């Protein structure tokens, strides 16, 4: 029995600090720290923010001076994941976008918000990221990896831990509801259309 599967390494910036996105929002340094420390389920890796299209898993989160740097693995046993991987390797996709709830925010310039605490639910690979600098910096080739098997329900999941370099990783099981704030290009288009309609009404 073959206990290996094909995966591909991926990394990049899911969010960039001090940079206004297409909705006018700015994420402050440290905004994700509390969320990553307390989450009971992992931050999901989705494609285009579709909850029914998980394509891998995020395994590391680091808040550095630039933003939230993420590392993960695309699981190539999924046909959609193989398609996305091919597009990434071919240069047709390179965007990252976050789905979250703003826990603490205040009004910022240009009708946007300055978000100081965000409950992060998922990070998606997208065509058009809301934050133009939220990009994938590395996508690896397919490689073999030992399959991961989860213990029986009676065996509690191991708690994640912060490391000295500021990273955080946590295994876990799916739970909860999808986020209400999704930093996606389509949101900006809808917002712009709404503003335009009020100006012409």
44: nearest Cα among 118, 96, 120: 120
What is the 8-class DSSP label of residue 29?
T
The predicted pLDDT at position 159 comes to: 33
Average pLDDT of the chain, as a whole number: 80
Q: Which position among 35, 63, 122, 167 bears the catalytic label?
A: 122
Residue ranges and CATH numbers for the domains of the chain are 4-149+159-200 (3.20.16)
Per the CB < 8 A criterion, the answer to whether 102 and 21 are in contact is: no
Residue range 9-32: average pLDDT? 96
Which residue would you say has higher pLDDT here, 148 or 78? 78
Per the CB < 8 A criterion, the answer to whether 54 and 144 are in contact is: no
The predicted pLDDT at position 13 comes to: 99
Integer CA distances (angstroms), 71 to 3, 29, 116, in order = 23, 19, 23
The predicted pLDDT at position 41 comes to: 83
Which residue would you say has higher pLDDT here, 148 or 103? 103
CA 103 to CA 100: how far, in whole Å?
9
The predicted pLDDT at position 145 comes to: 84
Q: Which position among 11, 49, 63, 73 bears the catalytic label?
A: 49
Residue range 127-146: average pLDDT? 95
138 carries an active-site annotation: no
49 carries an active-site annotation: yes
Q: pLDDT over 90 for what percent of the chain?
A: 64
Task: State the pTM of this model.
Answer: 0.74
11 carries an active-site annotation: no
Q: Which position among 97, 117, 167, 184 bears the catalytic label?
A: 97
The predicted pLDDT at position 2 comes to: 60
Tell me: the pLDDT tens digits for 37-93? 988 789 999 999 999 999 999 999 999 999 999 999 999 999 999 999 999 999 999
Tell me: the pLDDT tens digits for 152-183? 443 333 333 332 233 333 333 333 445 556 55
The predicted pLDDT at position 189 comes to: 47
């Amino acid at each position: 029995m073959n206990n290996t599967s094909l995966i591909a390494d991926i990394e990049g910036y899911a969010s960039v600090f001090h940079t206004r996105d297409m909705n006018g929002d700015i994420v402050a340094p440290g905004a994700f720290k509390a969320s990553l420390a307390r989450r009971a389920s992992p931050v999901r890796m989705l494609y285009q923010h579709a909850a029914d299209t998980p394509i891998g898993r995020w395994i590391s989160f680091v808040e550095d001076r630039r933003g939230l740097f993420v590392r993960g693995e695309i699981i190539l046993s999924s046909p959609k994941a193989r398609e996305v991987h091919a597009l990434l390797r071919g240069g047709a996709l390179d965007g990252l976008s976050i789905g979250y709830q703003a826990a603490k925010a205040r009004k910022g310039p240009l009708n946007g918000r300055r978000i100081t605490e965000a409950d992060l639910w998922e990070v998606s690979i997208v065509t058009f990221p809301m934050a133009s600098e939220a990009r994938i910096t590395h996508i690896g080739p397919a490689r073999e990896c030992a399959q991961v098997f989860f213990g029986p329900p009676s065996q509690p999941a191991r708690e994640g831990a912060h490391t000295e370099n500021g990273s955080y990783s946590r295994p876990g099981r799916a739970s909860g509801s999808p986020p209400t704030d999704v930093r996606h290009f389509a949101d900006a288009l809808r917002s712009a259309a709404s503003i335009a309609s009020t100006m012409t009404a």
